[in-house]
Structure 1
Amino acid sequence: MNAYVPLILFTVLTNAAAQLMLKRGMSGLGAFDLAHDGLIGTVFRVVFNPFVFAGLCTFVVSMASHLIVLSKVQISYAYPFLSLAYVVVAAYAYFVFHEDLSPTRVAGIGLIVLGTVFIAQS
């Protein structure tokens, strides 16, 4: 199973990258006005935002790699690694988006990493 860790980590990183692109895209869109744009107009505005579109495409790549992983390793081994995406997203959000990273969150991140290390060694 350890032979698939690089592919699992690729899945994690593409998942995190997709989340970050979606956040960047949605932050740039501003408020929605369904009364003015309508539902269809709003959906097009969201989906065709370059960052949102790139994020959705990156999710497809992440899901494809995850499907490959699931065909090769036990889900109880592979799935917990996805929690590492939270670690990547939280760190990026702190340094780039200047979001809060409280001591409690840092402790939680530490537990996530520790748990993933335990699972990787099992």
Structure 2
Amino acid sequence: MAKYIPFILFTVLTNAAAQLLLKHGMMQLGELGVAGTHPILRLLQIVFSPFVFLGLCTFVISMASHLFVLSKVELSYAYPFLSLAYVVVAVAAYFLFREDLNAYRVGGIALICIGTVFIAQGGSHLADESAAVSPPPAEVSR
């Protein structure tokens, strides 16, 4: 299953990048309570602002990567890795947005990392089983 770790980490990083892009985009938009603006127009303004739109597109890439991963490994193996996106987002938000990274958050991040290591050590059997279940190629006789 180690060969799928890069794909899982790509999913994690694109998920985190999407969150950071969305946050930046919403910060740029500022106060959206413009009087007289129709809610649909406001929604379109949000969705099509550059960083929000890029964040949404990045989410699509992340989900496509996650679907590929799910086709190769067990859900109970792949899904917990997504918690690493919180680690990436928390650290990046500290540096990019000056968000608080207090002792409780650092402790939680440490527990997430430890838990992910335990899950990774457990491995996944889905891809291994599909290789084991496949019959050997049939020989053609004439």
TM superposition score normalised by structure 2:
0.84
Aligned to 1:23: 23
In structure 1, C-alpha distance between the alignment counterparts of 2:42 and 2:9, rounded to whole Å? 34
| Larger radius of gyration between Structure 1 and Structure 2 | 2
Task: Give the deviation of 1:30 after TM superposition.
Answer: 1.2
Unaligned runs of 5+ in 1: none
| Partner SS state of residue 37, structure 1 | coil
Task: Give the deviation of 1:33 after TM superposition.
Answer: 2.2
Aligned to 1:118: 118
In structure 1, C-alpha distance between the alignment counterparts of 2:39 and 2:118, rounded to whole Å? 46
Aligned to 2:78: 78
The correspondence of residues 4-83 of structure 1 with structure 2, limited to 5 A, is 4-33=4-33, 35-83=35-83
Greater per-residue helix proportion: 1
Which amino acid counterpart does residue 37 of structure 1 have in structure 2? Answer: T
| Partner SS state of residue 8, structure 2 | helix
| Partner SS state of residue 33, structure 1 | coil
Q: How many residues align?
A: 122
TM superposition score normalised by structure 1:
0.97
Does residue 109 in structure 1 map to residue 106 in structure 2? no
Q: Write the deviation string for residues 53-99 of structure 1: whole angstroms up to 9, x where unpaired.
A: 00000000000000000000000000000000000000000011000
Task: Give the deviation of 1:32 after TM superposition.
Answer: 1.9
| Partner SS state of residue 31, structure 2 | coil
Which amino acid counterpart does residue 116 of structure 1 have in structure 2? Answer: T
Which amino acid counterpart does residue 53 of structure 2 have in structure 1? Answer: F
In structure 2, C-alpha distance between the alignment counterparts of 1:45 and 1:35, rounded to whole Å? 14
Task: Give the deviation of 1:34 after TM superposition.
Answer: 6.1
